[in-house]
Structure 1
Amino acid sequence: MEGEVIDFPSSSSVPEEPIQRVIKFEGDVAELLSAIYGNRSEIPVEVIDQLDALVNTVERTLN
């Protein structure tokens, strides 16, 4: 059975620099949470979900 082909944009409408800042922001927050919880594997799933939602919101502000 063949899957549906999804066309992805060939290039982002957002310049590379802001995207890199969002990636750095996500990494910085993850490091902070790791320091709080002891390591990344101890961060509760709910907290990771909230981080994902926050990063997605920040990404949407770039469009």
Structure 2
Amino acid sequence: MGNKFYWIIIFSTLLVNVIMLQMTIESYFGEEYKHVWTFSSIAIISTIICLITFIQWNKQEYK
């Protein structure tokens, strides 16, 4: 995979994290606690994908 592909995945997962943080805060203040867990779970999965992609990119770039 090329470096651009890694960066696209990294930035898109970071974008998802920012959006999920906003939606989690809105749900918390709106007292919709079921949505808080859903949005937080999506953000955690996105963070794991971002971290794995960063590690793979780092290995490819600096091997």
Same-fold status (TM-score > 0.5): no
TM-score by length of 2: 0.45
Point out the structure with max Rg over C-alpha. Answer: 1
TM-score by length of 1: 0.45
Higher helix share: 2
